[in-house]
Amino acid sequence: MTYNNDFYNYLKNHKRIVDFEYNLVIDWAVSLLMNGHNSISLAMIAGYSKPVDKEHMQDLVSQALKDLGISETEVNDPYDSLVLYHVTKIIQKQNIRKHLKSLYQISMNSDLTDCFVFYRLHHAWKDLEDDYVQKQLNGVQFYYEGATLDTIESLVIKEAQQWMDANY
């Protein structure tokens, strides 16, 4: 697997992201080792079984980044890089529903007002799949105007692209 700049931006902020997905780091370490990057910290990370917890991985990830000459970054809001990661995955049409749910959770746990649209889209999608909404409300939900089951996925992608254009 190839890891791009978005992944590295996410990884460089692992200590600052509350819900960092450390399980991703195991695959990353294995991939680097298979591509000739040798370090004790990468080998130790690759040796872990999923699921892993933050306590066991945080220092190893920091050391692996240091070994690779990658510095951990400072950000104003710890959620910024996490939002970037999930928005990028949505734009790439990878597990859109999963990444929308992650953005919904971020909108609930942060002060990022520009992520509220993902809260609305998450609930719109849930409502659109609800039998009551389909039968009693003729498929009309009240979270995102104009969203239907046929359009919700493309609306999520559109909003993710708009977020990206406005922020990067």
State the pLDDT at residue 7.
81
The residue count for the chain: 168
State the pLDDT at residue 67.
93
Residues 16 and 55 in one domain: yes
The domain boundary residue, chosen from 31, 46, 67? 67
Does 72 reside within a domain?
Answer: no
The domain boundary residue, chosen from 42, 67, 92? 67
Residues 88 and 151 in one domain: yes
Residues 58 and 101 in one domain: no
Q: Domain range holding 97?
A: 80-167
Predicted confidence (pLDDT) per residue in 65-86, tens digit = 999 998 886 655 667 778 888 9
Residues 163 and 85 in one domain: yes
Yes or no: say if 122 and 101 are a contact pair by the CB < 8 Å rule.
yes
Residues 63 and 85 in one domain: no
Residue 13 CB contacts under 8 Å (≥ 6 apart), including other chains: 20, 72, 73, 75, 78, 80, 81, 82
Does 136 reside within a domain?
Answer: yes
What tokens does 91 get? Answer: 């734009």
- Record the pTM: 0.58
Residues 126 and 92 in one domain: yes
Yes or no: say if 122 and 129 are a contact pair by the CB < 8 Å rule.
no
Number of domains in the chain: 2
Regions in the chain scoring below 50 on pLDDT: none
